[in-house]
Homo-oligomer: A and B are copies of this chain.
Amino acid sequence: MTVNPYPLDPERDLELVRDVDVAPELVWRAWTEPELLKQWFAPAPFAVTACTLDLRPGGEFSFTMRTPEGDEFPNGGCFLDVVEGERLVFTECLSAGFRPRHAEIPMTAILELTPNGSGGTTYRAVAIHLDAEGQKAHEEMGFHDGWGAALDQLVALMSKA
């Protein structure tokens, strides 16, 4: 459902909105090319060690997070909506081919990229949860710091591109 921009539900959703000095095309590449995504998606000292990205509704989006101690945690889901350069929606509640998937904190994420008029991007990432408890659990897990630090890494990476 391509309602753009997504109307936030403040009781159940979390969002990160920020203007960045990176063009929408470059932000899009950072999100959709596995070799780029691995370099920024996990806030340091965490790292992404593997990534599969099949960019279409029902296509797999999976990645493995490595902790500083070296433990690896596979995670992921599938894409639901893909509008090149503008909008990317994925969920952890389904896996490739839309098969139901177990998620600790069930979440769908929406990325919206809008040209900011000076060459950069208004970057908006929204996490949609089942209920207020899901929102709170995700917030306590460090949504704002984590997604913000990852975005800093994306900007640093793509500013060199």
Interfacial residues, chain A to chain B (CB-CB below 8 A): 1-3, 6, 12, 56-59, 80-81, 89, 91-94, 96-103, 106-108, 128-130, 134
Known: A91-B94, A93-B93. A130 touches B56 (CB 8 A): no
**Complex interface: chain B residues within 8 A of A130 (CB):** 99-102
Distance (Å) between the CB of A120 and the closest chain B CB? Answer: 28
Contact with A108, one of B12, B81, B99, B134 (Cβ below 8 angstroms): B99
Query: What separation, in Å, do the CA atoms of A51 and B141 have in the docked complex?
Result: 37
**Complex interface: chain B residues within 8 A of A100 (CB):** 91-93, 103, 106-108, 128-130, 134
Contact with A58, one of B1, B93, B96 (Cβ below 8 angstroms): B1
**Complex interface: chain B residues within 8 A of A96 (CB):** 1
Q: Are the CB atoms of A1 and B98 closer together than 8 Å?
A: yes
Query: What separation, in Å, do the CA atoms of A42 and B129 have in the docked complex?
Result: 30
Distance (Å) between the CB of A62 and the closest chain B CB? Answer: 14
A91-B93, A94-B94, A100-B128 known, 12 other contacts, Cβ within 8 Å: A1-B96, A1-B97, A2-B58, A57-B81, A58-B81, A91-B100, A94-B108, A97-B128, A100-B103, A100-B106, A100-B107, A101-B130
**Complex interface: chain B residues within 8 A of A91 (CB):** 93-94, 98, 100
**Complex interface: chain B residues within 8 A of A2 (CB):** 58
Query: What separation, in Å, do the CA atoms of A136 and B96 have in the docked complex?
Result: 21
